[in-house]
Structure 1
Amino acid sequence: MCNFITYNDMSIEVYLVDPGKGGKFYIGKKLGRNGKEYKILDISRNGTYGNKKQYGVPNHMQAMTVAPVKDGVVEEILAYGIQQFEEKKYDAALDAMVLAFTKGYQREWILANIYSCYMDGNEAEFRECYNTCCIYKDISYTECCLDFIPYKDSEYYIFDKMEQKFLGIVSVQEMFQAEELKREFDDVAIELDWDWRKYKESLKWAFKHKVYAICHDRKRAASFCKIPEFVDCFRKIKAFADRKAYQKYFHEYTGVVLPRFFLGEEGSRQEFVRIWEEEHAYRITAEGRNKDHILLTIGIPTYDRGFLS
């Protein structure tokens, strides 16, 4: 279990919680440490705590839960989060911690504990997934701007390390509930800033179709490759930095089928159509004709061929 209170100099007070050692502490009492004030939210005597001591097992352990006090008032959201975590209600605890962080309470302290309690044990898996399916090989794991804090099953809070703020939740289940692409044999082209949540169908379609993506914010877009459930999707996505690189690829590799289905803003879709028309026109010229995949078709008439047919 991760302990949100990491200050070593509180160990003496915890020791004195034991009635045999004085027992001078009680719920609601305030403690001062290093110029900061804390309030006792709960006390574990003999290993039990909570309402009517319904949590824990009698084991002679002494402990207490405290929360920071600001301007004489306990930061109740933060206090609630700490209590939820101690009761092993980790989803509710994370909700409260994120809300407290957003409101500006103890930001450095909260973030350090969120990473310690929710991220550290998952870091190796995130790194392995990223290295397996990263869509931009020139962007290393450490260069990614976004981290994904495990929340509920297959749900993650998005934390922007550059902006130092939370950007909501990404739900894998919701992403995979998108409709199937009705064009069974068509590939897909998509243009986006970085947020794959805006075009959640593109990741689901990557299971069956080739997806070509233009991502303008590459370090944020590539960050999604950390999510374990998306590994198989991103393996089938070819990403470009801009439209010029996208068109150059199809101009050079004329054996690759041009995508016919487009996702993005209206301006993006119009640009995809323009590129398709230009490259299609080039491919039917002598210079642009592909010579690697030649299909020979022999047609045999089956109608009105005479009595010998």
Structure 2
Amino acid sequence: MENIGENCYSIGVQLFENGDYERAVQYFIQSYNLGYEKKQILENLYACFVLPNEQEFRDNYNKNREGITQIPFEESVLDFIPVTEKRFYIYDKEQEKFAGVFELEDEPIQGEQEEFDSILFADIWDVREMLSTMREKKWNLIYIVLNEQERKFVSFLKLPQFKELYLKNVAVFQDANLMCTVFEQYDAFYLPKNIVAKDGGKYLKLIDELHVKRLHHRERDNVFLSICIPSYNRGSVALRNVSHLLHCPYDSEIEIIVSNNGSTKDEAGYQEIKNIRDVRIVYHEFEKNQGFASNILKTLELAKGKFAVLVSDEDLMILEHMNEYLTCLKKNSSCGVFLEGGIGASFRDLPADKIYHAGADAFSVLVDLNYVTGMTFHVGILKKSHAFEIITRMRGNGFLEYYTHITLALIVGKYANFYRMKLILWDARNAVEVGNIIPRYMLPETRIFQQNSIMEFYQKGLLLPASQFVSVFLNRAQKTYYLLELSYCHEKFRELYVWEEVCFFVYREQKKYLEEFPVILTAKGKDAMQKALRDMFLFYLNSEKIFSIRPLEEQAKKKMAYQTIQKGLEEGKSIEEVEEEAKAKYHLHYIGGNKAKIDIIDTFVSRNDR
């Protein structure tokens, strides 16, 4: 072994004399590890590589250690043998052995994938053991607890630009006690959800204990997500939802806002929510029912988070997917509105995430997102877009009162992109059923009211240019027929209406709207609009979906009646004339009067999901 060590030493000397310093150092270290002339080799390496650079190491150390350690330069354990500007061989003075090589990065280390959660490295001195994990993700924050490893870890501060390259997003604690003190006093620091340590269980227990303590803090200055739950007459349902959310691992990252809209039934659950001692809960209640819109707005006004998500009280967040959701929000923080997927009839699967650009692209999708759960807002953009001021000015608008979340989304979507996630975040399978009744919002009269109200909102709330107003109106007119077509598939609806009654009513109302159209039309433009509305009426009158649910004996009669209607319109007859002729010739009878229908239909339900 001594001969091998001597040979390595000789080769090292020759390489050094030839200026091949790194290979020379490698052979000197190999000789040292074989036990040959260890003292001499160490003295030579220090004399040639360490001591000439000592002042630079000292200056780097003193500059980098600020806010990290109180240990003086002389007490650091590791020394570094530079062979290039970026490569250093490590010598452990305590163990009197070499510990491999360290090569500085060209750029500050940064993970590839965005990540909301933070990570903790504990009792690890060797930065090299952390690098693969640090490169893997863009952690929210990286915590390092040193304890007995402090003197070794801080030795790396001798290296040039070490702090800028490796500690840009890192908080270093000398020991676990200091870490606990910081987490207990400052909620702005989120607890790590990932731990790398030899004794991971010890630190997992410690973090869990800190989590419980932080649930009783009062200062909340770094909330990331506000979960907003408007509720009415469903205290037990709201309590179930809140209890579920409280099982999530987050504390200062979230708040749960419940607004009780002056409930007069099922009130015990609200009192239980109010009595829960958990700082994450923000409870509000109105003395009297203020309507759906006011309750939605109150939850958002109370929100302190960077983002706020609206949730129907019966829909549960799938907590296992919460980190992915929060990560998506963090990664796409330039977007103003988000929507996630869910399980249940109110959600549909998406093959991939998609971004809709601000303006017409976003409007085309947002306007049809009737279900409230999952609508997430960037609160800063929501405020900058003056959404609350616009909503206040437009109060009383029918569409706004029914679909407050959509009007807010449209305002934000005018200025910022809309991000639609494929992530399945919500379980809506426990949605409260309204039974075999037709809610008032499904009435033709209500659908027309909504149609005209949204056009008013487009004009006065969004200040939609006249050049876009026509196409938007035609899209909404078609949507009115489509929604009523869906309603007609409901057996109870067919007990109240015949299909031609619905179609004639909608056509008359849309023609009436055209006569008082809010923007100026040329004669040619108005003719084109009239033709479009007539074609739309005839298309839905002859709906294949409606024909498929008619008895066979009715189908031939209906087709003949519709052909007569179409011919009459083509001959220039008024809609009233055509309707009366068809009723007389083909004995088309409508079911009851309008008041009779309304009397047997329930009032507008507080669960606004259509």
Whether the aligned pair in 2 keeps the contact of 1:131 and 1:141 (CA below 8 Å) is yes
CA distance in 1, matches of 2:82, 2:40: 19
Whether the aligned pair in 1 keeps the contact of 2:5 and 2:32 (CA below 8 Å) is no
Do the aligned partners of residues 255 and 92 (structure 1) sit closer, same or farther apart at CA in structure 2, a change above 3 Å counting? closer
CA distance in 1, matches of 2:69, 2:51: 24
Whether the aligned pair in 2 keeps the contact of 1:215 and 1:221 (CA below 8 Å) is yes
Q: Does 1:112 align with 2:43?
A: yes
In the other structure, the counterpart of 2:170 is 237
Q: Deviations along 1:33-87, whole A, 9 cap, x unmatched?
A: xxxxxxxxxxxxxxxxxxxxxxxxxxxxxxxxxxxxx89x992221111111111
- Aligned residue identity for 1:120: L
Q: Deviations along 1:281-309, whole A, 9 cap, x unmatched?
A: 33332xx1215568994287957156476
CA distance in 1, matches of 2:106, 2:141: 21
In the other structure, the counterpart of 2:22 is 91
Q: Deviations along 1:245-294, whole A, 9 cap, x unmatched?
A: 322220122232223333334x42x4444334333333332xx1215568
In the other structure, the counterpart of 1:257 is 190
CA distance in 2, matches of 1:211, 1:223: 19
Do the aligned partners of residues 95 and 74 (structure 1) sit closer, same or farther apart at CA in structure 2, a change above 3 Å counting? closer
After superposition, the CA RMSD in angstroms is: 3.5
TM-score scaled by length of structure 2: 0.34
CA distance in 2, matches of 1:174, 1:264: 28
User: Structure 1 residue 228: deviation in Å?
Assistant: 1.5
Q: Does 1:121 align with 2:46?
A: no
Whether the aligned pair in 2 keeps the contact of 1:160 and 1:166 (CA below 8 Å) is yes
In the other structure, the counterpart of 1:3 is none
Whether the aligned pair in 2 keeps the contact of 1:251 and 1:279 (CA below 8 Å) is yes
Do the aligned partners of residues 210 and 98 (structure 1) sit closer, same or farther apart at CA in structure 2, a change above 3 Å counting? same
In the other structure, the counterpart of 1:36 is none
Aligned residues: 234
In the other structure, the counterpart of 2:118 is 187
CA distance in 1, matches of 2:108, 2:195: 19
Q: Does 1:290 align with 2:219?
A: yes
Determine helix, strand or coil for the equivalent of 1:97.
Answer: helix
User: Structure 1 residue 167: deviation in Å?
Assistant: 1.3
Gaps of 5+ in 1: 1-69
Do the aligned partners of residues 130 and 202 (structure 1) sit closer, same or farther apart at CA in structure 2, a change above 3 Å counting? farther
In the other structure, the counterpart of 2:131 is 200
- Aligned residue identity for 2:90: I
Do the aligned partners of residues 209 and 154 (structure 1) sit closer, same or farther apart at CA in structure 2, a change above 3 Å counting? farther
CA distance in 2, matches of 1:262, 1:74: 42
Q: How does 1:1-309 map to 2 (within 5 A)?
A: 75-134=6-65, 136-152=68-84, 154-173=86-105, 180=111, 182-201=113-132, 209-216=140-147, 217-232=149-164, 233-234=166-167, 236-265=169-198, 267-268=199-200, 270-285=201-216, 288-292=217-221, 297-298=300-301, 304-305=402-403, 307=453
CA distance in 2, matches of 1:74, 1:225: 33
Greater relative contact order (CA < 8 Å, ≥ 6 in sequence): 1
Gaps of 5+ in 2: 227-298, 304-387, 392-399, 404-449, 458-610
Identity of aligned residues (%): 25
Higher helix share: 2
- Aligned residue identity for 2:218: R
TM-score scaled by length of structure 1: 0.64
Whether the aligned pair in 2 keeps the contact of 1:145 and 1:220 (CA below 8 Å) is yes
CA distance in 1, matches of 2:83, 2:203: 37
User: Structure 1 residue 218: deviation in Å?
Assistant: 1.0
Whether the aligned pair in 1 keeps the contact of 2:5 and 2:35 (CA below 8 Å) is no
Higher strand share: 1
